[in-house]
Amino acid sequence: MTMASYCLALALFLIFATSCMATPFKTQKLAVYNMEGMAQCALGHNVFELADYGCWCGPGGSGTPIDGVDNCCMHHDKCYDAAVDDGDCRNVMEEYLDPDDWSCSNHTIVCKETTDKCKAALCNCDRNVVMCWSKFPKVTSHKGCTKSKRIW
């Protein structure tokens, strides 16, 4: 099993395990689950089908996005990168382990005010990608990237 496959399988398992035990829209989860909860809030469906969609959705990312949904994922990846590069977050792992502080109200994602720059930046990244996805029809078929994805 490649490292990319292992990371994807682990992430999907953790999301599945938590979703089985969690209360809907509980907002204090590991950061890796924030986007899924936000998608449930705003879109009304999960985004598991995007775990390995296109060139940018899921772990890693490179190349030209294959469509608008993949373009949203590219901007999300770059948003997370900027949070580290700008010094809001200390490292890449913090992006995936530090829970955002947000709420769901009438299918609207609200990032709560915080003095933690990393939480604020990541919450905005996650909210923005979900709002971007909302501009497109729900993905019903898997589209892969035409070339290999870069991992990390």
Range of the domain at 25: 3-133
Q: What size, in residues, is the chain?
A: 152
Per-residue tokens: 113: 């005010």
Beta strands in 32-137 (DSSP E): 102-105, 108-111
Say if 26 falls within a structural domain: yes
Please tell me the predicted confidence (pLDDT) of residue 23: 36
Say if 140 falls within a structural domain: no
CA 9 – CA 143 distance, rounded (Å)? 18
Residue 71: is its pLDDT beyond 80? yes
pLDDT tens digits for range 77-118:
999 899 989 998 887 666 666 666 889 999 999 999 989 898
Q: What is the mean pLDDT of the chain?
A: 78
Q: Identify the CATH number of the domain in which residue 82 sits.
A: 1.20.90.10
Give the sign of the dihedral formed by CA 63, CA 64, CA 65, CA 67: negative
How large a percentage of the chain has pLDDT more than 70?
A: 69
Question: Binding site for Ca(2+), residues?
Answer: 58, 60, 77
Say if 124 falls within a structural domain: yes
Say if 138 falls within a structural domain: no
Count CB neighbours of 125 within 10 A.
24
pLDDT tens digits for range 22-53:
434 333 345 557 888 899 999 999 887 788 89
Say if 72 falls within a structural domain: yes
Q: Which residues are catalytic?
A: 76, 126
